[in-house]
Amino acid sequence: MNGSEIQIKNVNMIYKGKRGEDIVALNDVNLDIREGEFISLLGPSGCGKTTLLRIIADLLRPTTGSVTINGQSPKDIRLQRKYGIVFQNPVLYDWRTVRRNICLPMEIMKIPRKERTARIDKTLDLVGLKDFGYEYPFELSGGMQQRIGIARALALDPEILLMDEPFSALDEFTREKLNEDLLKIWRKTKKTIIFVTHNIPESVFLSDRVVVLSPHPGRVSAVVDIDLPRPRESSLREMPEFYEYVAKIRKSFEGV
Amino acid sequence: MNGSEIQIKNVNMIYKGKRGEDIVALNDVNLDIREGEFISLLGPSGCGKTTLLRIIADLLRPTTGSVTINGQSPKDIRLQRKYGIVFQNPVLYDWRTVRRNICLPMEIMKIPRKERTARIDKTLDLVGLKDFGYEYPFELSGGMQQRIGIARALALDPEILLMDEPFSALDEFTREKLNEDLLKIWRKTKKTIIFVTHNIPESVFLSDRVVVLSPHPGRVSAVVDIDLPRPRESSLREMPEFYEYVAKIRKSFEGV
Amino acid sequence: MVITKKERRMVAFVWFTSIFVLLEVLAFFLMFVMKDTMAAAKLPFPHTIFIVFVNNWRSLLEAGVITFSRAAIGFGIGAGVGIFLAVIMSLSKTAEKIAFPYLIMSQMIPVLGLAPIIFNIVRDMNLSRIIIAAYITFFPVSVNMLSGLKSVEQDKKDLLYSIATSKFEVYRKLMFPFSMSYLFTGLKIAAPMAVTASILVDMLGSRGGIGVRILYSLYSNTTDIFWASVMTSALMGIFSFYVIVIAENLLLPWRRGASKKDGEKV
Amino acid sequence: GDGKKLDKVVLQLKWLPQSQFMGYYVAMEKGYYEDEGIQIEILPGGSDIIPEQQVYNGVADVGVTWVSSLMKYQSEGWELLHVGQIFQKSAMLLVSKASSGIESPSDLVGKKVGSWFGGNEYEIFALLEANGINRNTDLELVQQDFTMNQILNGTIDAASAMTYNEYGLLLAAGLDASEINVLDMNDEGVAMLQDCLFVNSDWIKNNEDLFVRFLRASIKGWADAVADPEAAGQIVYNVDQSVSLEHQVYMAKEVAKLVVPEGFDPAQIGYIDMDAVVQTAEHSYTYGLLTSPAVISEETITSKYWEEAVK
Amino acid sequence: MNNKLKNILWPLAFGIGFILIWELGYLHEVLDLRPFQLPIPSQIMTTLYNNLPKVLKDGGVTVIGALIGLTIGSFFGFMIAFLATWFPKWGYGGMIVVTALNAVPIVALSPIMNLWFTTGMAQKIGVVTVVCMAAMAINAYSGLNNLKAFSLDLMETVAADKWVVFRKLRLPNALPNVFTALKINIAASIIAAIISEYFAASTSGLGFGIKDHLRKAEMAMGWSYIVVASLVGVVLYAIIILVERDAIKWHASQR
Ligand SMILES: Nc1ncnc2c1ncn2[C@@H]1O[C@H](COP(=O)(O)OP(=O)(O)OP(=O)(O)O)[C@@H](O)[C@H]1O
Ligand SMILES: Nc1ncnc2c1ncn2[C@@H]1O[C@H](COP(=O)(O)OP(=O)(O)OP(=O)(O)O)[C@@H](O)[C@H]1O
Ligand SMILES: Cc1ncc(C[n+]2csc(CCO)c2C)c(N)n1
Ligand SMILES: [Mg+2]
Ligand SMILES: [Mg+2]
């Protein structure tokens, strides 16, 4: 057994609605994620992707079932600060400038100032916001805000990176560029990445495996291994195998 | 000159930053939109799409330049309640349930209660949230919240519909279904629709014309007429002309 | 709508004069139309108060300084305690459930009942006065701060939670900055209240202060000094309020922008 | 002071610095305390200050209060000792506008009568009872605030007033003496003793000599003040200007009459008249302030320090 | 359900513990107090029990005055916030006036109100009204104006008039702040009513009782009144909490 294998076992999640009703978000979800794997979660809106991510990150306790990461509980892993999360909506602190928003988790992890500055510079550049470091979030466009959230998680360089539709507000080109950058980072750092997206080509391009969830209640409806060569570059997108995978996943999706 | 022709003339928008610096968001934008036209705005993140939409909707005054709609100012049109907007982030009122959020603009427009209920039912069904009418927004997933925003604007049935990345948080299937539904509505009601998106195929599928903006400062870099037959159905997505347009726009984008 | 400094000054001037004129008219009405024998006590002419104020400005200023400085100290301590209690209560729902009813109860103990106990514990009049002023001040700060701390959105907390941030850091980096605007609302209520609290503790046998002037003038039926003192305390309240407003603008730059954006309407 | 270290005594007044307490201010001003090796500190009273509690707490060493009030505290267990009697007469009046026609106690029936309560009401209770008036049913007793506005206003028909203060305020407010009807508690035979000096029983044990010195200096001050109220009023005025000099002098003159009433030997200032004390105690018990008869013993009241002081 | 029980049991346990410490004399030991300075709970309760009808009657007088004043004062305070929001340029002066009033102490206010109103009840209501205005005005103002980004835009697009914006956006947005103000005002109104009674031309009410008895060394009786005031405060607070929980269940603070 290796570093950060994630085992999701019989996870059920039932929310209590405001009016006392039960909202079943996840139903008996089972999934094993290997260490250093890049895995994508796909599924219609409201099927429980965010919920599953939050359970893995110990931001939510499953109603029943369990998640273990290399034999430890998500809580243990969280306490060891191994998670980095890109939230679905960027979750920025209004009172901090862009740079200081990116800096925040590093401050908490007591990363030395110099190192922090270097990382901020690097990730800001990566997400194309070099010139906006000293603005406040509300002065930025939606897509720019989203990129701050991405930069913040990347600057942290966590062992397990959970990304919830990180590129949804970005144009195709920025998105493709960031896809490649992300893969480079992943290759170098060997993180485990769980990546939620609605973009099927994106999931194929990035992942070792694509997990398709079906809604109401959320359950795993298909797991597709992506046996495409690595390192992957933008040329991959033109290859027929690529399209086969996209088609295959689209199909498994349609059954939903 | 007809109903709601929108003329955008030499529009410049300069924001004042926190530190007193100028942020040029739009630079000399000129654009004429015909009545009943379906137009898409494309462009990299931060290029000024939202800004332009807000200027058209009279939520922002351009620094210089003017917008006229059928000879009237945006303010006049706004006061005549001809706009419906889907915001980039959903802008829901926490204290209202899903149904009551959708209801809000109709309440203000004094649409009779019965009619309101009927429209809420219809649009909720359209966006696939029939069963969630009595939940509060915070109990819903990101994509579901976005769909409430869409339902709210559609329920209003405005003459001019401004949509800012309305489907960004939706899976491809929901998105495609809503694309088609939107076109049906448009065909029936003959609205003018200005649609911001990052999804090039989507823009081709929907629009009469696609406007590509280039960033820093935002200016119109290309306008592509989409001469595809109407009514368009999902089969269109498989046609080679469709792909030609997609490729063409992608290309014009690359120059950015 | 952005209101310029000049406009604001004009508005303040118009308000001031119209209140002045209104009170003049009311006082006139009371005295000459209603022929109320107590008119001078009920509502003296503002200009007479003003004249008394000017004639006694030295002594009122002296008294004001004593009262205001005690108010400032009491306010400082009260705000500190208020914030501290709010933090404790926000740390645990149980702590809140335990503490809040008792905080309400504590506010029901009048100074007359409390003062002897405080004296007995501290055995120093001056310190006792400051403690009592703080005791009167802390409550609104605490309530507002607590409501700020409780209004922090879950996803903002999740961000820090996901990297196992210590409670201390969560408060430092998130809870406090977020609650600042709520806190300042509380402080704006508490600051003028600290002035009233300080005036009240002046009456605990203090040698000087606006409270002493008010008490003595009431007892000796010197209505004009009474009203001038009341006016002084009102002015001190406005002053303290503005101190908080200015502090807020200095300390929360992001809010100025955010609210301007909302107000910047066509 | 000839370089000798002064002993500190803190005196708690029952009310504001005013000629009611002129003896102490005169003694302070003229250095009588210093002559006795005392550094005096005079604490003003206030609305939320209760001298008995201050002295018991140790915030002050010596206090000024009303005898009935002191008896009440003693009966509740507070170990306080009555050690000198400054006012020999009651200053309490019931005043009313002549127009209301209250000339005798029986005229109070059906009227609204003001009192300060909180212990200041028992002479009025006694007055009513002595005249067969039921205080609960025959008239309405209401609370007076600090001011005399209520009587001027006509909100109440009769008000409590001290000879040395509120009565003067009515005059100052423009009423002529002839427009004011007065019921004097001394004349009505229901007087209770007022300003006295008291100490903490524990404190005095270790400070007998100090207190005697304090009392000696105070009596000297009072004697001077009574002899020249105008000067005393001026001295008090120098301490606190919130009242006019005129009113301060008026008060001094009136207070002088209470400290050295007609026929009283000025050398006896501070003398405790046990008959008056007993009457005060009896009234306090009869009219409900005390729940059991006051214990009058060396534990509660003593003249020994006064005797020592005037030797 | 379990939670609800806990919410009541914990504070209760704490209270009982405190009362025990107090009753058994430890509190007095620590604070160096004698029972005649601060009576012990059993003394207070006995006294309260023996004088229950009178204390309740006095309590009723004070609470009625406090509640009426609370209502009027909170209403006026809200109206001032409303005007300051409605007329941002001119209305804000009202906020300054309310601040000035907030700095006039009750001890000065009471005699003034004594002159303006002849009955104790009217005076009390007058005082409480003034005291309750500021907390509501300042809190409501902040709630009416600190809107979430873009929420106003939604209103603008449908050309909602000011009144609609107020009713459908600002008002619900300010509700949490209004509750915050009410919590402050509950405490403020009762204590203001009590202090106003120190000076009222009346001999009823908790305030008169507290002052009268505490001055006369009748500590147990005085504290009985304080106990009643405290209980009233807590009960009113509980009511506010319950209403709040229902009225703003959508708000972050209620989750
Ligand atoms: N309130 C503001 N204050 C200052 N600058 C702003 C403000 N709003 C937008 N900007 C700036 O204007 C530019 C255009 O922003 P806009 O929101 O129009 O972009 P966009 O095209 O909608 O981008 P996206 O696709 O990311 O939503 C950006 O550079 C942004 O920083
Ligand atoms: N706090 C909550 N309270 C109640 N129900 C909730 C809550 N959060 C999520 N849900 C429900 O759980 C289900 C799954 O939500 P989740 O956010 O995990 O979806 P998702 O797959 O991330 O969707 P999207 O793609 O739209 O973000 C939805 O039906 C939603 O209504
Ligand atoms: C709260 C309160 N208000 C008024 C008085 C009346 N008063 C003021 S001074 C004085 C003489 C005392 O030596 C009297 C009777 C009081 N006692 N307590
Ligand atoms: Mg989601
Ligand atoms: Mg945008």
Question: Each residue of C109-126: pLDDT tens digit?
Answer: 998 889 888 988 888 888
Q: Chain D residues with CB inside 8 Å of E201's CB? A: 114, 142-145, 150, 155-156
B132-184 confidence digits (pLDDT tens) = 999 999 989 999 999 999 999 999 999 999 999 999 999 988 899 999 999 99
Chain region(s) in chain A for CATH 3.40.50.300? 4-82+158-251
Total length of chain D:
311
Q: What is the pLDDT of residue C255?
A: 62
Check if the beta carbon of residue E18 is closer than 8 Å to that of residue E40: no
Helix axis angle, C111-122 to C125-150, nearest 10°? 120
What is this model's ipTM? 0.91
Picking from B235-244, C251-260, E81-90, which range would have the lowest pLDDT averaged per residue? Answer: C251-260
Q: What is the pLDDT of residue E119?
A: 85
Determine which residue's CA is closest to atom 7 belonging to ligand 1.
Answer: A139
Residue in chain B nearest A143 by alpha carbon? B45
- Pairing, β A38-42 against β A192-196: parallel
Flag if A45 and B143 touch (Cβ within 8 Å).
yes
Between CA A71 and CA A68 the distance in angstroms is: 5
Which of A54, A95, A141, A154 to mutate to test binding with chain C, by most C CBs within 10 Å of its CB? A95
> What is the rounded distance in angstroms from the CA atom of residue B196 to the CA atom of residue B211?
10
- B219: Cβ below 6 Å to ligand 1? no
* B199-239 residue pLDDT tens: 999 999 999 999 999 988 889 999 999 999 888 888 888 88
Sign, CA torsion D56/D57/D58/D63: negative
C266 touches chain B (CB under 8 A): yes
Q: State which residue of chain B sits closest to A212, comparing Cα positions.
A: B171
Q: Whose atoms come closest to the Cα of B41: which ligand? A: 1
Taking the Cβ of residue A192 and every Cβ of chain B, the question of whether any pair is shorter than 8 Å is answered with: no
Q: pLDDT value at position C260?
A: 36
- List, for residues E162-191, the tens digit of each pLDDT value: 999 999 999 999 999 999 999 999 999 999
What pLDDT was estimated at residue D147? 83
The string of DSSP codes covering B170-192 is S-HHHHHHHHHHHHHHHHHH--E
> Rounded to an integer, what distance in angstroms lies between the CA atom of residue C200 and that of residue E185?
19
- Kindly determine whether residue B78 and residue E159, on different chains, have CB atoms separated by under 8 Å: yes
- Kindly report the backbone phi and psi dihedral angles of residue B163, in degrees, each rounded to the nearest multiple of 5, phi listed first: -125, 120
Tell me: pLDDT of A1 over 60.
no
Residues whose Cβ atom is located within 5 A of ion ligand 5:
A 141-142; B 50, 88
Gap between the Cα atoms of C239 and C225, Å rounded? 20
Give D182's strand partners. Answer: D95
At B4, the pLDDT band (50, 70, 90 cuts) reads low
For E143, residues 6+ apart whose C-beta sits below 8 A from its C-beta are E170, E173, E174, E175, E176, E177, E178
Interfacial C residues in 110-169 facing E (CB < 8 Å): 110, 112-113, 116-117, 120-121, 139-140, 143-144, 147, 150-154
DSSP state of C12: H
Taking residue A105's Cβ as centre, other Cβ atoms within 10 Å add up to: 24
What pLDDT is stored for residue C266 in this prediction?
28
Instruction: Tell how far CA A185 is from the center of its chain.
Output: 14
Cβ atoms within 10 Å of C231's Cβ, excluding its own = 18
pLDDT tens profile C153-188: 999 999 999 998 999 999 999 999 999 999 999 999
Q: How far apart are CA A209 and CA B234, in angstroms?
A: 28
Contact D53 C116 (CB under 8 A): yes
> What are the tokens at B143?
């994509």
The rounded mean pLDDT for chain A is 91
Chain A contact partners (≥3 CB pairs within 8 A): B, C, E
Residue whose CA is closest, atom 14 of ligand 1?
B48
Whether the CB-CB separation of D64 and D52 falls below 8 Å is answered with: no
CA distance E212 to chain C (A): 10
Residue B21 vs residue C165, higher pLDDT:
C165
- Chain D environment of C224 (Cβ under 8 Å): none
Residues contacting ligand 2 via CB (< 6 Å): A 15, 17, 23, 25, 43, 45-51, 88; B 139-144, 169
DSSP symbols for chain D: --SPPPEEEEEE-SSSSSGGGHHHHHHHHTTHHHHTTEEEEEE---TT--HHHHHHHTS-SEEEE-HHHHHHHHHTT--EEEEEE---S--EEEEEEGGGT--SGGGGTT-EEEE--TTS-HHHHHHHHHTT--TTTTSEEEE--SSSHHHHHTSSSEEEEETTTHHHHHHHTT--GGGEEEEETTTTT------EEEEEHHHHHH-HHHHHHHHHHHHHHHHHHHH-HHHHHHHHHHH--SS-HHHHHHHHHHHHHHHS-TT--GGGTB---HHHHHHHHHHHHHTTS-SS----STTTB--HHHHHHH-
Per-residue pLDDT at E6 exceeds 80: no
Distance E129 CA to ligand 3 centre (A): 28
Cβ–Cβ < 8 Å for C144, C189: yes
Tens place of pLDDT for every residue, chain D, 311 residues? 455 789 999 999 999 899 999 999 999 999 999 999 999 999 998 878 899 999 998 889 999 999 999 999 999 999 999 999 999 999 999 999 999 999 999 999 999 999 999 889 999 999 999 999 999 999 999 998 878 888 988 889 999 999 999 999 999 888 999 999 999 999 999 999 999 999 999 999 999 999 999 999 999 999 999 999 999 999 999 998 888 899 999 999 999 999 999 999 999 999 999 999 999 999 999 988 899 999 999 999 999 999 999 98
Q: Which atom of ligand 1 is nearest to the CA of B44?
A: 25
User: Can you tell me the distance from the alpha carbon of D159 to that of D147, in angstroms, rounded to the nearest whole number?
Assistant: 10
Give the whole-angstrom CA distance, residue D110 versus residue D122. Answer: 19
Strands B38-42 and B192-196: parallel
Bond preceding residue B231 cis, omega within 30 of 0: yes
Instruction: Please name the CATH architecture into which domain A4-82+158-251 falls.
Output: 3-Layer(aba) Sandwich (3.40)
Amino acid at D33: Y
What's the pLDDT score for residue D46? 82
Q: Which residues pair with D9 in a beta bridge?
A: D40
Residue E4 reports pLDDT greater than 80: no
Mean pLDDT of the A161-190 span: 92
Encode pLDDT of B51-85 as tens digits: 999 999 999 999 999 999 999 999 999 999 999 99
* Secondary structure E strands in A105-218: 160-164, 192-196, 209-214
DSSP symbol at B86: E
- Please give the Cα distance from E206 to E56 (Å, whole number): 9
Which residues have a Cβ under 8 Å from the Cβ of E170 and sit 6 or more positions away? Answer: E85, E143, E144, E145, E147
Which residue did the predictor score with more confidence, C7 or E236? E236
Which tokens sit at A220?
Answer: 């795993």
| C114 closest CA partner among C201, C226, C4 | C201
Question: Which part of chain C has CATH 1.10.3720.10?
Answer: 60-264
> pLDDT tens, E18-74?
999 999 999 999 988 888 999 999 999 999 999 999 999 999 999 999 999 999 999
Spatial CA neighbour of D271 closest among D197, D189, D163, D164: D197
pTM above the 0.80 mark?
yes
Helix (H) or strand (E) holding A148: helix A142-156
Of C37, C115, C218, the CB nearest to D48: C115
Give the per-residue pLDDT at B2: 44
Question: Torsion angle, CA of E97/E99/E101/E102, rounded to 10 degrees?
Answer: 170
Q: Which fold has domain C60-264?
A: MetI-like fold (1.10.3720)
Using CB atoms, which chains have 3+ pairs under 8 A with E? A, B, C, D
- Tokens 């600042």 locate to C180
pLDDT one-digit tens code per residue, C30-69 = 888 888 877 888 889 999 999 999 998 998 999 999 999 9
Residue having the nearest C-alpha atom to atom 23 of ligand 2: A46
Q: Are D257 and D184 in contact (CB under 8 A)?
A: no
